[in-house]
Every structure is written in structure tokens, then in C-alpha cells.
Structure 1
């Protein structure tokens, strides 16, 4: 009962976050095509400074970061840090913690990444700048896809939600690897060596029992700056940082329960209607609070703390800055890139996820999870085409600066493919999932 209530609460938050993300993206497109477009562009080009003496933390190669760069290179590092924490948790104790659990979503995700890339490459001319966007349709947006799934409420079996979440997490791993390998400029290895030393330092400090979150975040900011100057995309620093965050609490649950009982046994009881606590009572309750903090691992605590900021601040701000498709002006929004991205998300993700899942189960490598069938797998495969966040992010890495027309096409392809995939997935699942019995 507690698990079901938790899943329901998470689904509700995902739905709210998805709606906010969608509204923000639409708002960005409207403003980008309105008389306020110059103000919108001025906002994105505004330079930022965080100076300590003559040193500007928000700078790259001696030039201050603009707002669009701050959002994509700094705030999105926090997003990828949160993704890294989720991946680490899934690898340790979640749906990717064993071969039996991870096999089916891993195979599905591989198909969902490979087939869209193949389809994209077939729809653009080889050797042209358009091929730079080959990785755009390979991503699945976890928050958006789970948000659509949550619209169907209790009709969705828990195994289907777990399957979608797990293959989307594997999808994120693939996207992170692509960003690290294919979207890096000239590498300055000196910065990376210093960053590697700091990662090792943080790892061993965690092994020695250091669990203060501020300690890891302080050095995380330094590492982010080193990556920003190194030529490796700075968001990768957040993912790697997540993997050195301690996953074990300082106090295990058994000792925690015993300590709480010992502490509360000394709690002085006063009249039940007394609304003012004594200093002694406050001191004892603070002991309980400190013990409670020590029983939650830094990994879980940070993941929980970042959830609201990522979903309700960072991602909407990212959508606002990056989803501003211009429908008029230089070039057409419908071209090879927009078609390839949209078809990759709609057709490529569906074929890849469904066919690889089918092959995995029919070959005997994995078994069909309880509560799932081919009809609802087809619906979830369509939801896999909701690419939004990471797809827009890769689109910027592919075309921003040198190819603004292609970037505009890519944005349109992502938005069109995401919206249609979400609608089709919802329609299919609403048809195939069992109806709720009315009492």
C-alpha cells in the first residue's frame, strides 16, 4: 500500500512537471515569433559574471558566459548530476542492479537508440552538416513520458512504469556517452588531470566516512569549471560527480531505531496542550534530527533535494531558452533535419524499442514481466519517442552557432515528434489497458 501511494505521488509530480515543461516550451515558441522576440534574444545573449577579484567563475576561455550558455553548460550540469544520481541508485539497488532485472530494459533501450540513428542517417545526405544531428532522436525524456503515462492512473500496471523508467535511464546513459565522445572540442588534458585527481580525492574521502553534502558540492563546482575549460562538455562533470557521492549512510537503520528509542526515552513529558517546548525538549529533538540526517545517504538525500529544483526550475528554464522555434525568417522549419528528427522519434523509437523487446523475449534471453503484454509494450514504445530535454540539448550541441537554420529545424522536429509520440502513445494505451471497474 505504501509503495503504491509513493508511486502515485511520484506520478502526480511527473505530470505537473511535464505540463509545466510543455507550457514553457510553447511559451518560448510564441515569444520567439512575437514582437517580444528581440527581448527574448537579448535575454539569451545577456552576459553573466560571478567575480572573485579579477576571476570570473562564469567564463570560458576568458569570455563571460551568456545566459543561453549558462543554462546549457551550468544549470544543465545540475540536471545531469541528478540523472547520474538516479543511474547510480538504479545500478546499486534498482531495476538495473542485476542482469535479470536490467536485461529487458537494456535491450529495449539499445534498440531505441540504434534504430532512430539509422533512420536519421538514411534521411539526410551523407557528408553534409545535417549528419551532425544524428544522435538527436535517440533520447527519451523520463519526466515527460512518465507524465503522459500517469494520465492513465491506476490502469497502468506497475511493471510497465518500471520498464519505461528503466529503459529511459539506460537511454540517458547512452546519451551521456554520446555527448562525452562526439560533442567535445579540442581537449586540454591539464584541466582533466586536475579534475581526475579531485574525483579520486572525493571518492576516498567518501570511503573514509565523509558524508557532508556541501563538501562534495564545493569540489563539484571546481570540477565543473575545470571541465568547462577542458573541451569536454561540462555536463559530463556532473554525471561523474554523482558516481563518487557516497551511497551508504553513516548510520544504518537498525542502529538508528535503537538510538531514537534511547533518545526519546529521556524526553521530558509535559502537558499535551503545551505549545511551547522547553530548551531540554528542543535539544533532544535536535538529536533526533541529526540522527535522522545520518541515516539517509548523501546520494538519496541529494537526489531528493534536487528533484524539485531540476523539474520545476532548471528544466522549464532550459525549455524556455531552447524551444524557441522561429516559424518565419531565414530558411524553412521543415527540411531534412526536422523530418529526420521527427521520423526518428516517432518511427525509429517505436520500431527499435518494440522489435528489440520482441527479439529479447522470443529468443528466451528475457521473459515477459507480469502485467505486460505486446499491446501495452507497443504503447510504451510510442512514448519512448518523447525526446524533448536531451534531444533539444543534443540539437544545440550539434548545430548552435554555425548552423542556426538547421538548429531551428531540429527544434521543430523534436517538438513535433515529441507531441505526436505522446498523443499516439496515450491513445494506444488508453485503448489497450484494462478499464477501471466502477463500483
Structure 2
């Protein structure tokens, strides 16, 4: 009698080396997420204080190199410049996942990719439906698409959850994939008045960047000036400058040569990731999240079709898209949920993915350049993200007690070599369904 093919386990236990790599990345993002939360609170308090005029003055202060077309406001420097660093790290993480991580085989890549795509498509569709019914503009369909991984992990840290590392890794992978989707949306749908000479120069710079990597050229003095030149040319081409960051991240080599302790991508990520999570993203939040939270502004969130579409997309669309995408992948493929997890965990993760702060604010600024409408969209992003965070906290706290007990059991079983017994053959653990 022929044996049946084994079913692929979704969100299963990660290899020990993979778990260590994911844990290191999560620690940085969690710390950066807390800084992001603090910056958002400061921005809101400052923008709604008697010193709000000073906030606007600082945000609109211009500086740069006018001869190179780089005379930008502080707000634009944070959105176009500092976020390029954030997307450089995102590009590195995405390539790592596809080359040596969880997405290196189609079987493991399918689930998070399907979940991410559904988690982008359903919020966009709900926004379009809400805006159409209300007679509003469809320009903001992409605002509720992306998940803010730093904000989401900060929420996990604040509520002290003990979610399994495999589920956290899934959240990280899903967020990286839909960050890439958001960048593609920005490049394709929010680009106008292309300067083909600047675009050609940026492309030539990326080709040179690739050649330097191909021929194993080392030294920051090659890459930093070239990276700045690529960024400047990309900005002047009319395509959002953050595309330069993700492009360079995807080009960096993620495999090690003989004699190398780390790959170039790992070295860059190790040095740049703390700056991205602890400085670049919080500064962007400081100058993007400062919106009026008066009764009138909040009223627009629930009465105007565009802001209401954003809230609906984040709070409802993300949950439906990610949860149903994951369920359908498990239902109609040979994948199944890890028996140590429950669908309630996936529901909590899907709700948490409704936190769409950084990239959602960025797309909101691009989709609605009018300051009045833009302020309402920003308020909607804040309301939607906070609502999703609160709902996720309620759902995940219900799971927290069980996973805390499992974590304490692992700690008791840990051997002197630092590897929990769960990673050894024949080890057992209780089910979270108990």
C-alpha cells in the first residue's frame, strides 16, 4: 500500500539557527517599534498643543542642495530620505527570506505570500467599495494595504505576549512581502512626470551596484557615495526615492563566500538596521503623525468616505484578507496548521496586521496631496491602527496565558548548551488547545 505524501505543516517549528536569526531581527524591530510609538505620541501631543505652530514651522523648514533638485522640507527629507533606509533593510530581509530563509522553496513561500496578497487586495477592495458607495475618491485605495511591522511588534512587546517564534516569523515575513507590494504600488501608481534621463542614470547606478557585488568589491567608500547618487537620481526621476532603497537591498548578496564571517547583506543590515528602526522610522513618524485630533477631525474620519474606507480597510479588510487567505491555503493545498497552534492565533495575527502606520501614512501623503484631505486620511490611519492594535491585544491576551505556560516549560527543559529540548528528537510539548 503506497504511503500518502506528508502534508506541509504551516507555521511549524523553525530550525534552531533560523529561530536565532529571526529572534535577533525581532528584538531590533521591537525596540524600534517602542521608539516609533513614543515618536507618534510626541507628534500628536506637539501638533495639538499651544506650540503647534512651531511643529508646522519645523516640519515645513526647507534645506538641501537646490542645484541638484534636493531643496526639501524636513517632512519630505524624512519621508523620501530616511524611509529609503527603512526600505533598504526591508529589501535585505525580503531577499534573505527568498534565498536562505523561510521563502526559499515554493512550498514554504506560498502561504505567507498568499496571505500577504490577500491582506493587500481585500483592504483595497473594501476601501474602493466604501468610497464608491459614499461618492468619494478612489485615489486612496492603496492606503490600508501595508502592515507596519515595527508598530505591530511594539504592540506585542507592550502586551507582553509569548507568541511562538514561528508565528512571529510569519508576521515578519508577511509584513516584508506587503512592504514590497506597497513599494511596487508607489512606483507604478504614484509616479508622474517621469524624467527619463534621471531614471536612466539611477538604473545605470543600480547596474554598477550589481557589478560591484558580482565582482566581490568591498569597502563602504564605493557603496555609500554610489547609493546616495542612486537615491538622488531616483528622486529626480519622479519615482518615489524609497524605491532606490529596496532595489539596493534586493541586489546585496545574502550568501557568504569562503572566509567571510557574514554576507554583505548581513553586514549592512547589522549596521543599518538599528539606525532604521531607532532613528529613521521614529523621525518619519514624528513629522508624519502630527495631525489634529479635534472632534471635528475625528468626525470626518467616520463621515467622509475616504477616511472611513481607510479605517474599514485596516480594521476589517486586513483580518478578512489574511485569515481567509491562510485558511484557504490550508484548506485547498497539502498544508495544515501546526497542532501546537490554533486558528485563534492566526486571527490575532491577522488583526495585528491591521496596524498600517508608516507606509500607510506615506501612501496617504502621495494619494492626497491636499493638506485638508491629507489630515483626515492621517487621522483615519491613526484611528484604524489604534483600533486594530486594541482588538489584537484583546485576542492575543486570551492566548497569552497558555503560551506563557509553554514558554516557562521550555525554560525549565533548557539544557546547559542553551538549546531547548523541544529542538531534540523525541521531545514533546503540550498543545495550546488544552
Shorter-chain TM band = 0.7 to 0.9
Per-residue deviation, 1:196: 1.6
C-alpha deviations, 1:103-125, integer Å up to 9, x for none?
A: 11111111110110011011113
Take 1:352 and 1:149, find their aligned partners in 2: how far apart are those partners? 21
Take 2:391 and 2:73, find their aligned partners in 1: how far apart are those partners? 38
Larger displacement relative to structure 2 (128-137 or 313-322): 128-137
1:398 to 360, 363, 367: 367
Take 2:388 and 2:294, find their aligned partners in 1: how far apart are those partners? 25
Task: Confirm or deny that 1:218 pairs with 2:228.
Answer: no
Take 1:357 and 1:224, find their aligned partners in 2: how far apart are those partners? 36
Take 2:78 and 2:160, find their aligned partners in 1: how far apart are those partners? 33
1:185 alignment partner, SS class: coil
1:295 alignment partner, SS class: coil
Task: Confirm or deny that 1:382 pairs with 2:351.
Answer: yes
Conserved? CA contact 2:135–2:305, under 8 Å: no
Per-residue deviation, 1:224: 0.9
Task: Confirm or deny that 1:327 pairs with 2:293.
Answer: yes
Larger displacement relative to structure 2 (70-79 or 343-352): 70-79
Conserved? CA contact 1:187–1:231, under 8 Å: yes
Shift in CA distance, 175/157, structure 1 to aligned 2, threshold 3 Å: same
Conserved? CA contact 1:113–1:138, under 8 Å: yes
Shift in CA distance, 93/329, structure 1 to aligned 2, threshold 3 Å: same
Aligned to 1:356: 325
Per-residue deviation, 1:245: 2.0
TM-score normalised to structure 1 length: 0.82
Aligned to 2:417: none
Task: Confirm or deny that 1:308 pairs with 2:274.
Answer: yes
Conserved? CA contact 1:388–1:415, under 8 Å: yes
Task: Confirm or deny that 1:407 pairs with 2:378.
Answer: no
Aligned to 2:52: 37
Aligned to 2:4: none
Take 1:159 and 1:397, find their aligned partners in 2: how far apart are those partners? 35
Conserved? CA contact 1:21–1:315, under 8 Å: yes
1:296 alignment partner, SS class: coil
Conserved? CA contact 2:285–2:358, under 8 Å: yes
Structure 2: runs of 5 or more not aligned: 1-15, 410-434
Take 1:327 and 1:149, find their aligned partners in 2: how far apart are those partners? 25
Per-residue deviation, 1:435: 4.7
Shift in CA distance, 14/237, structure 1 to aligned 2, threshold 3 Å: closer
Aligned to 1:20: 35
Aligned to 2:404: 436
Take 2:245 and 2:217, find their aligned partners in 1: how far apart are those partners? 19
Q: Which of the pair has more CA radius of gyration?
A: 1
1:205 alignment partner, SS class: helix
CA RMSD in angstroms, aligned pairs only: 2.4
Conserved? CA contact 2:48–2:292, under 8 Å: yes
Take 2:342 and 2:222, find their aligned partners in 1: how far apart are those partners? 47
1:367 to 336, 357, 360: 336
Per-residue deviation, 1:212: 2.1
Take 1:39 and 1:330, find their aligned partners in 2: how far apart are those partners? 22
Shift in CA distance, 152/3, structure 1 to aligned 2, threshold 3 Å: farther
Shift in CA distance, 210/134, structure 1 to aligned 2, threshold 3 Å: same
Take 1:154 and 1:29, find their aligned partners in 2: how far apart are those partners? 27
Task: Confirm or deny that 1:120 pairs with 2:127.
Answer: yes
Larger displacement relative to structure 2 (125-134 or 314-323): 125-134
Take 1:174 and 1:124, find their aligned partners in 2: how far apart are those partners? 22
Structure 1: runs of 5 or more not aligned: 257-293
Per-residue deviation, 1:84: 1.0
Shift in CA distance, 100/408, structure 1 to aligned 2, threshold 3 Å: same
Take 1:70 and 1:14, find their aligned partners in 2: how far apart are those partners? 22
Task: Confirm or deny that 1:47 pairs with 2:16.
Answer: no
Shift in CA distance, 12/206, structure 1 to aligned 2, threshold 3 Å: closer
Aligned to 1:90: 97
